[in-house]
Structure 1
Amino acid sequence: MAQLRTMILFGTRAEVIKMAPVIQLMQADPDNFKPIVVLASRQYQQLHQAISYFNIASDFDLNVSSAREIGSIEHLSQLLHNFQTVISAAQPDLLLVVGDTMTTLAASLSAFYNHLPVAHIEAGLRTDNKYRPFPDELQRRLTDELSNIYFAPTNSARDNLLKENVKADRIFVTGNPIVDTVKANYRADYQSELLSSIPANHQFILATMGRVEYTGLPMERVFRTLRDVIETNPDLELICPVATDSEAFTIATRILANRDRIHVMPLMNLGDFLNTAARSLFILTDSAGTVEEATVFHKPVLLLRDITERQEAVKAGTAKVVGTDPTSIQQAVFELLNDHHLYKKMTSAGNLFGDGHAAERIVKLLKEHY
């Protein structure tokens, strides 16, 4: 078998976290694989921090402005134009994409027009509302329509694809490689200056928020609610890492910074974040990826969104959708702090999103099929 020239595209930190174990396995098998890594975003702080953490070198950097800077339509247009140039230069045999970003959709469209097969990691996740979350849900659905092989993270995701008339022999339940990354980076003996600064008789909650649609009043409501929670629970602390190049950091700093038992800080590297999350009491987040990460550590999640495509976590009871309404958040936090039966129930689910061997399955299946 000749090398399978596999183009892998990164536009967000989350994509790096999920793709890193796949790239590492491909790099360890140079007789069969030639990964071609393309950076597709100017989201420098988050994206470049992640690829540096995994020591991943890029082959192409598109340097495309973010949708926030130039608008979604122009962002998509630039991605399509630049991907065409890269595909012509690199001559890949296959595009391997993940998730639901505009990078993923643009790459899949480019592959279609160039008659290249697309393999989609995280295929089949659905909210059943194409506008929520926007534009992620439709971008994921369109990517599935353009794909040739489907790596579904769960049985539920596979069933969604079957309902949409995707042929069963093109769908493979692999688990999500984000679980591989979490397990590989957990350290039982982890220590940090931050954790050492928290008194032994205190517990802490972890909060992350950064989705663009919640920037502004919804985010302000959440941060004020978290501030009130900490002020009314003297043995509780809050850790809140935020990207410093985002408006979220400005809001978090204004509302939360310089207050007792509240730690607002720049984004941690992945290892620090995962090991801090593993030691938290519970997590509040608007990130779908963090929901998956939290299940590995059996940590309850209060999801600061109105809807989620990770329904497995909600059905299993490990995650609860609370949105950005202060009353809903306060009630959910109060229950977790005071209802020990509920807390135990939210920590008792098994491996919802995989067993830590998803990347192995994906690479093996690619080798078999191409």
Structure 2
Amino acid sequence: MSNRHLAPLSLTGSYSPQFRLDAARMATCADSRSMRPKILCVFGTRPEIIKLAPIIRELKQTHHDIQVMTVMSGQHTDLVEPFLELFQVKPDFNLQIMQRQQTPNEVCARVLAGLEPIMSKEAPEAVIVQGDTTTALAGALTGFHHKTAVAHVEAGLRSGDPHNPFPEEMNRRLISRLATYHFAATSGNRDSLLREGVPADDIFVTGNPVVDSLHYILENTEPSSRVRELLKQTAGQKLLVLTTHRRESFGRAMRQNLRDIREFVERHEDVSLIFAVHPNPNVVEAARTELNGGSRILLIEPLGYSDFIQLLKQSWVVLSDSGGIQEEAPSLGKPVFVLRTNTERPEAIDAGVAFLAGNKPGHLLAMLNRAYDESGWLEKIKQIPNPFGDGKTASRIAEIIQQKICCRAERITR
């Protein structure tokens, strides 16, 4: 079912000058605008639109010789729609695949079926996907089946365990086998791809577009009345902000973490906790059992993304098992305690802005106590350069796409 609308973000390290187009090549592409190559940008979840929106905006605003078309799969619906408004993205197609209790196989099959007629009619020069969702895997596989270039944003993340996170770790490995161009956020991601045999000339270290989105939000939004009230209630306190929702955390591990956090808050009268409770019943029940009624503990419904970023900005320490928050917190100069046994973002660990909590009883409590007792610890964190980029990722990716796709299409049509 189509929903047509045609309306509407230098890292330290090595960036090859070959990605800069000279004036002559730009002019060559510009001469072929009457037959502009099409780019199909596919997304279906909240993290995808957050990280693809800056690229979509950059391509539309500064690269007019490319026609950008967007496809929303509907893998998530209510979670995605507020971001379309926030980032001013209007999907050209909405596959509307969302069903209750859908399995990854069902999602993949419906996205593949929904993309088929779009690919056949529009014949894009490239498909852009982001990350490791089932929508991204289906988009990459569709591009491969149509012998169309696939550009993978945030390529090369690896946890080392095919089953953790599940199914994301295997999804991103498979996408790497299907992709033509690999936009790696860090040099470590590039190294992972090289170890797997991806040609070096197909990998581009660009930074992570989440930093671009954070800059956009902080420049264009203000805290809502709800967030202002939360900050008023916790004023003068060391604020812990907690999220936890991954299936690997369900059960004993999550409950132990919540007990550790509650004990830490109760020991220190100058510490407060705000827990944005995910609606999953496993999370809701654990929160009620372990934290309900705790002093200086606020259990709240999930916030909108811009509000959540405003809350993170005021935090003392962030606690989360989310992959995205491992990027967002350091990008705001905040330490994050990762409530997992491994991470696909070791750059944050290596930089000293993220810390693995593991799953041993009492370990998270010990980490929190050390952070509380160490004088000047937070100020040291703030001085560490962001390992995920400088907010110019979208312009780098758009420029590479311009070079690789636009001029390639011009050569083919000669």
- Contact between 2:107 and 2:135, CA under 8 Å: does it hold in 1? no
Quick one: which amino acid aligns to residue 108 of structure 2? L
Q: State yes or no: 1:141 paired with 2:173.
A: yes
* Residue in 1 that maps onto 2:39: 6
Quick one: which amino acid aligns to residue 105 of structure 2? I
- Contact between 2:131 and 2:172, CA under 8 Å: does it hold in 1? yes
Q: What TM-score results when the alignment is normalised by the length of structure 1?
A: 0.91
* Residue in 2 that maps onto 1:360: 395
Deviations 1:256-300 (A, max 9, x none): 345432222222222211121111001001111111111122211
Q: State yes or no: 1:314 paired with 2:346.
A: no
Quick one: which amino acid aligns to residue 255 of structure 2? E
1:83 to 109, 115, 135: 115
Quick one: which amino acid aligns to residue 277 of structure 2? V
Q: State yes or no: 1:114 paired with 2:146.
A: yes
Deviations 1:342-361 (A, max 9, x none): 44444432121111100000
Q: How does 1:151-162 map to 2 (within 5 A)?
A: 151-162=183-194
3-state DSSP class of the match of 2:207?
coil
3-state DSSP class of the match of 2:269?
coil
Q: What TM-score results when the alignment is normalised by the length of structure 2?
A: 0.82
Instruction: Give the 3 Å change call, closer, same or farther, for CA 306–143 of structure 1 in structure 2.
Output: same
- Contact between 1:53 and 1:269, CA under 8 Å: does it hold in 2? no
Q: Which runs of 5+ in 2 are unaligned?
A: 1-31, 406-414
Q: How does 1:167-178 map to 2 (within 5 A)?
A: 167-178=199-210
- Contact between 1:45 and 1:243, CA under 8 Å: does it hold in 2? no
* Residue in 2 that maps onto 1:349: 384
* Residue in 1 that maps onto 2:338: 303
3-state DSSP class of the match of 1:237?
strand
Name the % identity: 32
1:270 to 291, 299, 305: 305
2:55 to 18, 22, 27: 22
Q: 2:94 and 2:290 mapped to 1: Cα distance?
A: 36
Q: State yes or no: 1:104 paired with 2:136.
A: yes
Q: 1:23 and 1:138 mapped to 2: Cα distance?
A: 26
Q: 1:47 and 1:213 mapped to 2: Cα distance?
A: 23
Q: CA deviation at 1:330?
A: 0.8
Instruction: Give the 3 Å change call, closer, same or farther, for CA 329–133 of structure 1 in structure 2.
Output: same
Matched residues, number: 369
Q: Which runs of 5+ in 1 are unaligned?
A: none
2:94 to 47, 51, 61: 61
Deviations 1:85-141 (A, max 9, x none): 332344322111111111111111111111111001111122233232222122111
Q: CA deviation at 1:199?
A: 4.7
Determine which structure has more spread, i.e. the larger CA radius of gyration.
2
Q: CA deviation at 1:217?
A: 3.7
Q: 1:324 and 1:50 mapped to 2: Cα distance?
A: 33
Q: CA RMSD for the aligned pairs?
A: 2.3
* Residue in 2 that maps onto 1:232: 267
3-state DSSP class of the match of 2:391?
coil
Quick one: which amino acid aligns to residue 156 of structure 1? G
Which stretch has the larger CA shift, 181-190 or 171-180?
Answer: 181-190
